[in-house]
Chain A
Amino acid sequence: MKRRTLIKATAGAAALGLPAIRKAGAQTAPTRNETLILVQEYGPNSMDMQGIGAAQPVNGVSLNCYDTLVRFKRKPAGDGVTVFDLENLEPGLATSWQIASDGMSCTFKLRENARFHSKRPVTARDVKWSLDRAVKIGGFATTQMAAGSLEKPEQFVAVDDSTFRIDFARRDKMTMPDLAVTIPFVIDSELAMANAAGDPLAKEYLKNNVAGSGAFKVESWKPGTETIYVRNDDWACGELPKLRRIIARDIPSPSTRRALIERGDADISYGLPPKDFKDLADAGKVRVAAVPVPNAIWYVAMNAANSPFNDVRLRQAVAWAVPYEKIMSAALFGRGVPMYGGPDRVGKIGWPIASHYKTDMEKAKALVAAATGGAGLSTSLVFDAGSATIAEPMAILVQESLAQIGIKVELNKVPGANFRGELNKKTAPMVINRFGGWLDFPDYFFFWNYHGNNSIFNVASYQNKAMDKLIDAARFATDPAAYERDVRAFLQMGMDDVPMVPVCQPFHDVAMQKYIGGYHYAPSREPDFRYLTKGA
């Protein structure tokens, strides 16, 4: 209790002393060069990425306003763009960490001078409270933690104020990278609990307030309209960001977002249709930073559990009949990496990799004839109306092409809210969709999309005991040679059995003015303001 009073007293004194310091440091209002204007389709629906129902943009709040124990190092990806390096971590709130000799725990030393926005020092108790919360709260946060074998609060130990330990549930190569994503962020537990009104997880308070230590604070948040971030000048976990103020406006119409970036009224524009990105990149007035989304593909999945596509010949026929080139040019406008026409046998391992299929109507016809005896068949294809800009032309091209090999396809465009429900039913014969995991491992992708545990993303409802065994072995393999062997085997099996036909690895495109520098791509795809610069 005494300690706490002391902390409060020092925090108070620091706060009192602040105006004087501010003046001495010549703190003026942020200039236009220190202010970034970003336009996006929609903004955050919460300030709490761990909370249930947090939308995609909430990742940005987590990334910029909170700290994690460790961060991904940045590696250059050409054209002044950096991307996260899954295999190399750098200090965040933890200045150093040590994996125990038995490989079953990791001990973190916390940064001495790290403080929350409330000026309270960050302690190991806050880290434990936050990680406990992530595994207890349910929903996406808990699922993502479990992906790194972070499953129970007992795994997290606050050894003393500045020492924190994680006991591993098993040896899992995803545990350490999973600590650097936007879920296990560290919350000011005292501030949260003081405002929690009895809720042990302070869900309501944290949904509407940021209680972090990160590089930015949220100055104002008007859901559906605007979010304004200001720099936290006391940020201890890295080099002080160049930008002091970020105005993120929600502009629903993509045409308006494009006009804004072309006229120079916005500095960065997120989420345009691929055709607009192509036009912008071709015109060359603004810069389009294109990062192939790690781990992600657009695919055509076929329900391998039910007729007709439980016949592997029909699945292969579709894989030979997909009009890949046309899709690349007319649906994606070249904004992606082709994932077809690769070698017959899987060469270099990784994900995504190009399949050996390419458009070959003769082969496709022969396979259909063998499977149906020339009778042909009719079926239906589902895609998400929310991603119709790409999925709809893609679906139409597939429909046209399959008609030539005697497969009549009826298209079924399903609104966003129903699409997940449709996937969950697992009855759709064909689905066009896109998937990518944050943790860029082939076994991670296959675990979600090909494993017999039949997650919602195993859209094909693909069941294969041999495949499951290979995936499970690869996930927890410790021997690199065995890992490579298993991965190669399941990649090959995935290509031969082809429950989903890889089409392309999409680009994550962001349009920005030429004077914007330091663009960094994080796994969550949200903008990282900490490294951005704006030179006139």
Chain B
Amino acid sequence: MRAVLLRFAGAIPTLFGVVLVTFLLTRVLPGDTATYFAGPTASAESIAQIRTSLGLDRPLPEQFWRYLKDLSHGDLGMSLTTGQPVKTELINRLPASAELTLSGLLLAIGIAVPLGVLAAVRQGSLIDHACRVVTTAGVSLPVFFTGLVLVYVFYFLLGWMPAPLGRLDAFASPPPQRSGFYLLDTLLAGDIETFRAAAAQIVLPAATLALFALAPIARITRASMLAVLGSEFIRTARASGLSGPTVVITYALRNALLPVVTVLGMVFSFLLGANVLVEKVFAWPGIGSYAVEALIASDYAPVQGFVLTMAILYVLLNLAIDLVNRAIDPRARRGA
């Protein structure tokens, strides 16, 4: 417990640094918010009016102080592109991104871990080569491209998948909000029809993400398994006459999981931020596309809010990974 609190305390300077750097970065970037939002036929006066109303005419330290003061009240400011408070937007959009990322990640784990294990056990076999091909393809194909290809094939040509209209098709209404995860909320509400609709919508974007996440997970599983399989305790286990599956799954895999979990954490946080393009292709109302739209418009508040949220998520995620590692491996408990 003490360790957990210590970790939190250690994160505070990091977060402050993030706040400061994003603030400065958004201000240093070229681009004039006031001119952009003054609209097509703006006069110099109307631009000045907007600049004053946004507080952009004040000196930087004062702007930063005001931003900090708002932050301490949990106020992340207003987005100019969507006209809504950043906090509500992030709260509304984070579940969408998280649901998509988690689905993609689970799908990737489901394929990548067995693939990696098999490739390690039968090194040099056909499955090992298949693993290599899949991981190379997964890394080298950009996500928006795989996304578009999947849409083209499975929606446009074959018509097997529903229209890429976001989380639900136009005629379905969202389930009552509990977790914000449609797949969970529909089940909790007992609404099987909407669950099917939501599940159908998530298949393609999740598959796109999974294809991308497959590579690091499969490769690290394979490498880690190879290292463990070559170690002495495995030789001992085999020599003691334990069955193949027992050796591979109970002894080797458990020991090989440590780096895999660490990589999973990284992949998850990476996907959460990097699924912007998938969100764009599938009109997924997540936080990635939100932040990018805001960045293009020089809309500071959402960008700052997004980076801060991501920083907090990273901190929490790293903590969670440490805790999981302790649970898996007794050695990690002593290490801390």
Contacts and interface: CB of A to CB of B under 8 A. Distances in A.
Interface in B223-272: none
Given A416-B296, A421-B30, A421-B32, A53 B50 contact: yes
Contacts of B49: 52, 138-139
Interface in A444-492: 448, 455-457
Contacts of A259: 151-152, 155-156, 163-164
A457 B43 CA distance: 10
B48 to A, nearest CB: 10
Contacts of A140: 38-42, 46
Contacts of B298: 417-418
Contacts of A39: 165
Contacts of A437: 41
B98 to A, nearest CB: 16
A344 to B, nearest CB: 33
Contacts of B89: 223-224
Interface stretch (B15-23, B78-86, B120-128): B78-86
A260 interface: yes
Nearest to B173: A220
Nearest to A251: B283
A455 B41 CA distance: 8
Nearest to B290: A224
Nearest to A435: B40
Interface stretch (A141-149, A359-367, A503-511): A141-149
B305 to A, nearest CB: 14
A224 B35 contact: no
B50 A139 contact: yes
B10 interface: no
B84 A147 contact: no
Nearest to B148: A255
A249 B31 contact: no
A225 B96 CA distance: 12
B116 interface: no
A259 B31 CA distance: 34
A410 to B, nearest CB: 17
B163 A207 contact: no
Nearest to A264: B163
A53 B37 contact: yes
A457 B38 CA distance: 13
A455 B298 CA distance: 23
Interface residues of A, number: 53
B35 A457 contact: no
A42 interface: yes
B46 to A, nearest CB: 5
A424 B43 CA distance: 10
Nearest to A266: B163
Contacts of A45: 79-83
B281 A255 contact: yes
A420 B35 contact: yes
A420 B80 contact: no
A252 B35 CA distance: 23
Nearest to A139: B46
A418 B163 contact: no
Nearest to A437: B41
Contacts of A143: 39, 41-43, 46
Nearest to A224: B82
B185 to A, nearest CB: 16
A418 B84 contact: no
Contact of A415 (B31, B46, B282): B31
Contacts of A32: 171
A279 interface: no
Nearest to B49: A138
Contacts of B47: 424
List 5 A-B pairs, minimum CB-CB distance, nearest first: A417-B298, A140-B39, A223-B82, A417-B31, A265-B163
Given A45-B80, A416-B297, 10 more contacts: A32-B171, A53-B38, A139-B46, A207-B83, A224-B93, A225-B285, A259-B155, A260-B165, A416-B36, A455-B41
Interface of B: 30-33, 35-47, 49-50, 53, 79-84, 89, 92-93, 148, 151-152, 155-156, 159, 163-166, 170-171, 280-283, 285, 289-290, 293, 296-298
18 contacts: A35-B171, A45-B81, A140-B38, A143-B46, A208-B83, A223-B89, A224-B89, A224-B290, A225-B285, A247-B171, A249-B283, A253-B283, A255-B148, A256-B282, A263-B159, A265-B163, A416-B36, A448-B41
Interface of A: 32, 35, 37, 39, 42, 44-46, 52-55, 138-140, 142-144, 147, 207-208, 222-226, 247, 249-253, 255-256, 259-260, 262-263, 265-266, 386, 415-418, 420-421, 424, 437, 448, 455-457
